[in-house]
């Protein structure tokens, strides 16, 4: 917050809105003590604990509460002298043979003064108190009065001086207590009812996470991505999150019926290369960062997840960025909007390790490598180190328990462990590359270590060496038509994907962009135009083919009995720019529905307007430059 002095008032506001006082007090005392493992010393009032406590005028969470003393390790720090009596009241003031009405109101520790004569209030009156000493000043008829004195019982008396130097005696005799201020009755601040918890706690969150349903989609045009091809007026039965039946005139009791008449049903789109839903992308502090994991930074509240659902995307491969020759470990997620991060992860998923070549890797001039030849060499060095490291561990693990006695095992290296997984074929190489020479380089490097590249990512010049890609049994994950954003992509062509497919290379399209990710069906449609690819093959570019590249095609990518019920019901042809995802289903759960989405948009607009109206009613706050005690960062 801008002003630390706002803390207590904001906390009191939270209590008005439903935070229990006991929980608020605990959060300020016991909980932080427990977090610091110091709950036996501070955080409560108990015998033998450090004497840290406050003395107040009442309930500290009430607006009129005054903090009198703050005791720290038994030492009091006093803000108000508790020996001071309450001097608020009405007085008859006599000074220089003139009589006035004096009134002290406000709080006991800092009373405010009002002086009047003949019912006319004098401007500029001031009052201060230091224990039993008081000072009063006011102005009348252009004469300044400065009075000092002391408290005598309920009265005041003393001497004063006018601005002409004349000394006078004065006294103030108590006449009555201060009466409550008259006027409009103060109405208690209206407290809005607490809002519902929504999942996730962000725009387009719901009061309840959608539940899995058994459902029957009827009379749709079904794109199976299997040998059956496209089925007209077909039905799909979903049971327990799996595809149970595919055919015509399917009947089932106790299931939700969804009318797909005039609509198209496809497998859910899989984005093979994405960076959405992550709080970090690149760990660029050093060149080799294979120890970092994308699963540790997944943000389940990223609205891009919901937006991807609205475009029919049901799963995504979240990769480390391309700032490192060997980057971090990626993670596969399903777009289960509303669930916590760990519940987004695809179960029993294969592992992948990001590699990268080209400009992104060598443009960091503060570290090695700075050239393309250095990129090749540092990757080789890392793999050679991993081979030596793996050999040491194999030798250690081959020892009998008696032989290990008194010996120290090899040191665990989190950076080399993921590379060993690649060498042992427990993980796969995903390599960012654009130009043909670097694609050749990484395939040759992999061959030298007895490996193959799982996927050449982006690879705008893949069409130039399609025969080499096929020979090395590598796959390709490419853009439909992105180019002209840096010099190493200038020779990319819109026919790249079609050429790679014609050579029998496992090819898919990806987004690498949160906006493009929700239009991957349209990206697939482009390949029909650029290269004459048939529509079913084009759809596979964003469904079955990425599932194969990610080694999850036994579960996803096509509509087949036994596979996960990850489906999209489109309002029209799935490759058309005019079609919308009417429903997006993951594991038999509808996570996106057009009608529900329309209602939520209305609610969001209403909430936005309510918040803006509330902001406009707030009093103006000082800028940070005007704050005398800015917060420490």
Tally: H helices and E strands in the chain: 16, 29
**89-176 and 212-267+558-594 share one fold:** no
- As a whole number, mean pLDDT of residues 241-248 equals 98
The residue assigned the tokens 């005028």 is 57
Q: Report pLDDT digits (tens) over 608-624.
A: 998 899 888 877 766 65
CATH class label, 269-399+413-556: alpha beta
C-alpha radius of gyration, the chain, whole number: 37
Predicted confidence at residue 401, as pLDDT, reads 94
How much of the chain exceeds pLDDT 90, in percent? 82
Q: Report pLDDT digits (tens) over 513-522.
A: 999 999 999 9
> What number does CATH give the domain 212-267+558-594?
2.30.40.10
Q: Which residues lie closer than 8 Å to 590 by C-beta, 6 or more apart?
A: 210, 213, 583, 584
Helix (H) or strand (E) holding 535: helix 535-540
Residue 186 has pLDDT above 80, yes or no: no
Q: Report pLDDT digits (tens) over 72-121.
A: 999 999 887 777 888 999 999 999 889 999 999 988 878 899 999 988 99
Distance CA(631)–CA(633), nearest Å, equals 6
Predicted confidence at residue 621, as pLDDT, reads 66
Predicted confidence at residue 99, as pLDDT, reads 93
Predicted confidence at residue 178, as pLDDT, reads 81
Residue 633 has pLDDT above 50, yes or no: no
Q: Which residues lie closer than 8 Å to 262 by C-beta, 6 or more apart?
A: none
Distance CA(606)–CA(593), nearest Å, equals 20
Lowest-pLDDT choice from 433-442, 568-577, 618-627: 618-627
Per-chain mean pLDDT for the chain: 93
Q: Hey, what CATH topology would domain 89-176 get?
A: Lipocalin (2.40.128)
Predicted confidence at residue 631, as pLDDT, reads 47
Q: Is the dihedral of CA 459, 462, 467, 470 positive or negative?
A: positive
Helix (H) or strand (E) holding 360: helix 359-362
Residue 221 has pLDDT above 70, yes or no: yes
Residue 183 has pLDDT above 50, yes or no: no
Domain range annotation of the chain = 4-78, 89-176, 212-267+558-594, 269-399+413-556
DSSP per-residue letters across 179-236:
PPPPSS--PPPP-PPPPPP-BSSSTT-BSS------EEEEEEEEE-SSTT-EEEEEEE
């Amino acid at each position: 917050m801008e002003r630390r002095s706002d803390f207590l008032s904001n906390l009191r506001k939270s209590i008005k809105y439903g935070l229990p006082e006991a929980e608020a007090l605990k959060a300020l005392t016991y909980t932080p003590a427990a977090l610091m493992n110091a709950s036996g010393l501070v955080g409560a009032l108990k015998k033998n604990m450090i004497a840290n406590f406050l003395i107040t005028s009442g309930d500290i969470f009430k607006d009129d509460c005054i903090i009198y003393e703050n005791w720290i390790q038994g030492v009091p720090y006093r803000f108000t002298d508790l020996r001071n009596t309450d001097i608020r009241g009405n007085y008859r003031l006599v000074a220089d043979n003139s009589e006035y009405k004096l009134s002290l109101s406000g709080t006991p520790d800092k009373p405010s003064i009002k002086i009047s004569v003949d019912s006319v209030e004098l401007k500029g009156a001031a009052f201060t108190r230091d224990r039993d000493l008081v000072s009063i000043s006011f102005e009348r008829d252009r004469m300044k009065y400065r009075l000092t004195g002391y408290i005598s019982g309920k009265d005041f008396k003393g001497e004063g001086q006018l601005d002409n130097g004349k000394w006078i005696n004065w006294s103030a005799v108590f006449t009555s207590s201060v009466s409550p201020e008259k006027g409009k009755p103060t109405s208690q601040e209206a407290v809005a009812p607490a809002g519902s918890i929504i999942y996730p706690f962000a725009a387009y969150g719901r009061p309840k996470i959608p539940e899995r349903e058994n459902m029957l989609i009827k009379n749709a045009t079904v794109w199976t991505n299997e040998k059956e091809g496209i089925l007209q007026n077909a039905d799909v039965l979903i049971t327990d999150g799996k595809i149970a039946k595919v055919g015509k005139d399917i009947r089932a009791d106790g299931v939700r019926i969804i009318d797909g008449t005039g609509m198209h049903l496809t497998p859910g789109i899989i984005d093979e290369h994405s960076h959405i839903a992550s709080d970090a992308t690149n760990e660029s502090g050093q060149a080799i960062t294979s120890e970092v994991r994308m699963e540790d930074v997944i943000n389940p509240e990223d609205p891009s997840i919901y937006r991807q659902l609205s475009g029919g995307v049901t799963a995504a491969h979240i990769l480390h960025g391309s700032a490192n020759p060997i980057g971090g470990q990626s993670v596969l997620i399903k777009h289960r909007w509303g669930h916590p991060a760990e519940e987004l992860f695809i179960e029993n998923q294969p592992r992948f390790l990001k590699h990268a070549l080209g400009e992104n890797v060598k443009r960091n001039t503060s570290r090695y490598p700075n050239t393309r030849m250095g990129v090749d060499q540092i990757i080789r060095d890392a793999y050679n180190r991993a081979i030596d490291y793996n050999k040491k561990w194999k030798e250690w693990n081959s020892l009998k328990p008696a032989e290990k006695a008194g010996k120290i095992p090899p040191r665990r290296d989190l950076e080399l462990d993921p590379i060993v997984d690649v060498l042992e074929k427990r993980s796969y190489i995903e390599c960012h590359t654009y130009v043909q020479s670097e694609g050749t380089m990484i395939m040759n490097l992999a061959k030298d270590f007895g490996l193959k590249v799982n996927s050449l990512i982006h690879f705008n010049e893949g069409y130039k060496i399609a025969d080499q890609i096929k020979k090395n049994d590598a796959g390709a994950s490419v853009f439909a038509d992105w180019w002209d954003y840096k010099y190493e992509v200038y020779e990319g062509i819109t026919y790249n994907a079609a050429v790679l497919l014609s050579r029998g290379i496992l090819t898919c399209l990806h987004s690498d962009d949160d906006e493009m990710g929700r239009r991957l069906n349209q990206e697939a449609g482009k390949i029909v135009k650029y290269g004459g690819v048939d529509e079913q093959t084009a759809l596979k570019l964003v469904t079955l083919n990425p599932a194969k590249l990610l080694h999850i095609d036994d579960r996803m990518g096509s509509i087949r009995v036994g596979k996960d019920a990850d489906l999209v019901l489109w309002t029209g042809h799935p490759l058309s720019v005019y079609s919308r995802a009417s429903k997006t289903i993951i594991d038999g759960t509808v996570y996106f529905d057009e009608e529900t989405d329309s209602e939520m948009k209305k609610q969001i607009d209403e909430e936005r307007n309510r918040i803006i109206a509330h902001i406009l009613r707030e009093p103006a706050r000082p800028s940070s430059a005007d704050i005398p005690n800015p917060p420490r960062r």
